[in-house]
Amino acid sequence: MNAKEYTREILRLIRQTSPGQEEFYQAATEVFESLVPLLEEEHRYREHSILERIILPERTIIFRVTWMDDSGKIQTNLGYRVQFNSALGPYKGGLRFHPTVTLGIVKFLGFEQIFKNALTNLQIGGGKGGSNFDPKGKSDSEIMRFCQAFMNELHRHIGHTRDVPAGDIGVGAREIGYLFGQYKLLTANFEGIVTGKGIGWGGSFGRKEATGYGSVYFAEHHLNRHDMELKGKRCAVSGAGNVAIYTIEKLHSMGATPITCSDSRGTIHHPKGIDVKTLKAIKEVGRESLEKYAQLHPDATYIPLHKYPEGGHATWSIPCDIAFPSATQNELTIVDAKNLVNNGCKLVNEGANMPTTPDAIDYLREHGVLFSPGKAANAGGVAVSQLEMAQNASMQRWSFAEVDTRLFGIMKSIFDTAYETSKEFGDEGNLIMGANIAGFRRAADAMIDMGAV
Ligand code: NDP
């Protein structure tokens, strides 16, 4: 069996043993397909059954979360923590609270996290968790009671050298605070068991901004390699959450113009540039719909989701030079890719995890659009999470400028590693392949060193 057949056989087995986990299968296929050139050259990974092992989580915890809503009714949700791979350090990866969360979604995110974390060159393994809990429309006390109930089970499985969760969709500073508070109550220990903590109680300056800022730094490094820069470019951004907001903020400071943002109900198009202050007030403070943005800025247009034909997204039909999909998985489709190409887009830089569908990626690359895969471009968040862990362990606090400088350097090093690896394997500039091989090689070599465990 050659390397291609070998990877396909493992993927076939995975599909058989993990039915209905489409997103996980999609992520695994992308990684395994890009490993073929490495497997052809290096036989040790096959000899040590690395693919067979790395595709299986070391541990999967699924639990019931029981909590009481404001009316006194008992509610239940499912909680997950997938501890995927600890070859490089404690499991690290966020928690997602969203009604679409299933085991397949958590496994896709946890699997991606192994390679992303390996790429940062820091000592962190890969994991992910979450719940199908929907925070929308819940009161602050309901959010708190849910987080406490979630931690009632999770606390048994995490620890500052074992597994350190962070935020993701639906889990921000507020939820991290409630989760940490409950952990402290249950264990009587004040330890860095989550990242994204408040600055006053163990958080790091720059963590909140890290994924968005890091994504913009990555885009700049990518453009520079092709003799271009962000300055003066029109950028379309999707999402209006943590990643999107800080992508937009950093784009302004780099001299680019972020012209869009979106939420699950619609897109804002503001040709003169999204006003970050208004966006933060609506999304971070008020937790309201983006429709309000157009009321406050009459020169901006609000395009409701249902007004756009199926199969595509309004954000990507607006002419731009660079696209930053920063909302959720599979949000940029083949319809969108065609619109971006027709409108002369030069780079798609993934801020979200797996936001571009496989056929859209192929189309973009075939038409000469540069592509930054999420596991490299959005690794700034987890990198600064690790810096938060390092500060907690050494009882130090670094300044915002120090963290930001380190983040800039880490994103440069991730870009260079992915780029040089793509060159090494004969497909210069294919950062999907470069990031997957570089991340895999680091985690896999550690697994070989540690024997059959
Ligand atoms: P948030 O919950 O802060 O924000 C998500 C945003 O995306 C919200 O504005 C939400 O809308 C919007 N959204 C969700 N679904 C859709 C959709 N189908 N179409 C348009 N908009 C949508 O999450 P984050 O910003 O933290 O995460 C965004 C992405 O980045 C995810 O893929 C996440 O895994 C990834 N990521 C996050 C990191 C982090 O540090 N936070 C690190 C690395 C990756 P609404 O407001 O209506 O809910």
Which of helix, strand or coil describes residue 280? helix
Give the count of domains, the chain: 2
For a mutational test of ligand 1's pocket, the pick from 96, 242, 267, i.e. the residue with the most ligand atoms closer than 8 A to its C-beta, is: 242
Task: Identify the domain containing residue 260 by its residue range.
Answer: 208-368
Residue with CA nearest ligand 1 atom 38: 168
Encode burial over 337-364: b for 16+ CB neighbours within 10 A, e otherwise.
Answer: bbbbeebebbbbbbbbbbbbbeebbebb
- Identify each DSSP E strand in 365-406 by its residue range: 370-372
DSSP state of 54: H
**Which domain CATH number covers 235?**
3.40.50.720
> Residue 320 carries which side chain, given as an amino acid letter?
C
Rounded Cα gap, residues 301 and 291, in angstroms:
9
pLDDT band of residue 201 (cuts 50, 70, 90) is very high
Cα separation, 387 vs 230, in Å, equals 27
Using DSSP bridges, classify how beta strands 266-269 and 91-97 pair: parallel, antiparallel or unpaired.
unpaired
DSSP state at residue 281 = I
The response to whether residue 49 sits with its C-beta less than 6 Å from ligand 1 reads no
Q: What is the DSSP letter of 79?
A: E
Give the residue from 339, 338, 291, 292 showing the smallest Cα distance to 317.
339
Q: For the segment 391-446, what is each residue's pLDDT rounded down to a tens digit?
A: 999 999 999 999 999 999 999 999 999 999 999 999 999 999 999 999 999 999 99
- With a cut of 90, say whether residue 334 has pLDDT above it: yes
Q: Is the CB of 243 under 6 A from ligand 1?
A: yes
- State phi, psi for 377 to the nearest 5 degrees: -70, -30
Residues 6 or more apart whose CB falls under 8 angstroms from that of 373 comprise 350, 418, 431, 432, 435
Is the CB–ligand 1 distance for residue 430 below 6 Å? Answer: no
Ligand 1: which of 107, 120, 243, 268 to mutate, most ligand atoms within 8 Å of CB?
A: 243
For residue 242 and ligand 1, the question of a CB distance below 6 A is answered with yes
Q: Quick one: 97 and 222 in the same domain?
A: no
Task: Give me the chain's average pLDDT, please.
Answer: 97
Q: Which among 317, 345, 368 is the end of a domain?
A: 368
Residue 79 resides in a domain? yes
User: What is the Rg, in whole angstroms, of the alpha carbon atoms belonging to the chain?
Assistant: 21
* Residues 224, 157 within the same domain: no
Question: Same domain, yes or no, for 355 and 304?
Answer: yes
- Choice among 107, 116, 128, 375 that is catalytic: 128
Give the end of a domain, one of 368, 393, 413. 368
Quote the ligand 1 centre to 216 CA distance (angstroms): 16
CA angle 324, 322, 256 (to 5 degrees): 95
Catalytic residue flag (residue 128): yes
Last residue of a domain, one of 157, 190, 223: 190
Residue type, 145: R
Question: Residues 260-313: pLDDT tens digits?
Answer: 999 999 999 999 999 999 999 999 999 999 999 999 999 999 999 877 767 789
% of the chain surpassing 70 pLDDT = 100
